[in-house]
Amino acid sequence: MTTTPPTTFGARLRSAMDERGPLCVGIDPHAGLLAEWGLADDVEGLRRFALTAVEAVAPHVAAVKPQSAFYERFGSRGVAVLEEVVAAARAAGTLVVIDAKRGDIGSTSQAYAEAYLDPASPLGSDAVTVSPFLGFGSLDPFVETARRHGGGLFVLALTSNKEGPEVQHARLDDGSTVAGRVLDHLRRLNAGAEPLGSFGAVVGATIGETDEDLAFNGPVLAPGYGAQGGTTADVRRIFGATAANVLASSSRDVLRRGPDAAAMRDAVRAATDELAALRR
């Protein structure tokens, strides 16, 4: 019996971005936003916030990106809410990127990969963010699991936090930077993939200038768009010819409009319309 391979994450993402636009909304229920919504900083407040946001925006965006930490801080009951978020978003037809930034070695890395990329897992999602800074080879279990299940990775490469450059801009013996080496690995993993590779990079929308080659035939998750200062002009300037592969991530610009679902949808439409310029 022949088993049909699953559709790749890169193909699903390309289709979703073409259909719905290149916006990803972070479902990030931090304490300040719960307070702005008039909700208690407890599991019930977390659940009402997260599921209201998903219901409002998921049918209208290419992807949602729940930040695992904001759920984990409530223990097992918070993780149960994250499972609900994943299920609700997938039921709405949007892709789910778990923002967990996991990175480990061997069997531990494999366990994380199965938690986030195996469809049989309650947290099984389309893609997960990972850290390569234990050596890119430490991500092999994630790569193999993603390939097996048609999932994807977004690998930290050029982040916009002020501490990032001391590692990411460090020079290797051949003169390349750590970030450049990460991008080279992604270029290798995505070689020949059509219409888009499944192994992406995290590159902040507010990093300023970079000399790195951002053409690696894969998607870019660009956090910091919107309230954190990243603009469509920044995306075009930083990514140039590869801007059409950028999935711009915004959280507060959308979520602060809640709990009014219509206002959140209006914010999504406005951002999507602005980002449409990247395809022209």
Alpha helices in 21-173 (DSSP H): 31-36, 43-57, 69-72, 76-91, 106-117, 140-149, 165-168
β-sheet bridge partners, residue 64: 25, 96
SS (H, E, C) 206-223: CCCCCCCCCCCCCCEEEE
Establish whether 162 is a catalytic residue: no
Other CB atoms within a 10 A radius of the CB of residue 111 amount to 13
Structure tokens at 155: 């690998």
Residue among 30, 90, 101, 169 flagged as catalytic:
101
182 and 201 Cβ atoms separated by less than 8 Å? yes
Please say whether the beta carbons of 85 and 66 come within 8 A: yes
DSSP states along 4-45: PPPPPHHHHHHHHHHHH-SEEEEE---HHHHHHTT--SSHHH
Burial tier of 201 (Cβ tally within 10 Å: 0-12, 13-18, 19+): buried
Give, as one character, the DSSP assignment of residue 2: P
Q: Any idea which residues carry the catalytic annotation? A: 101
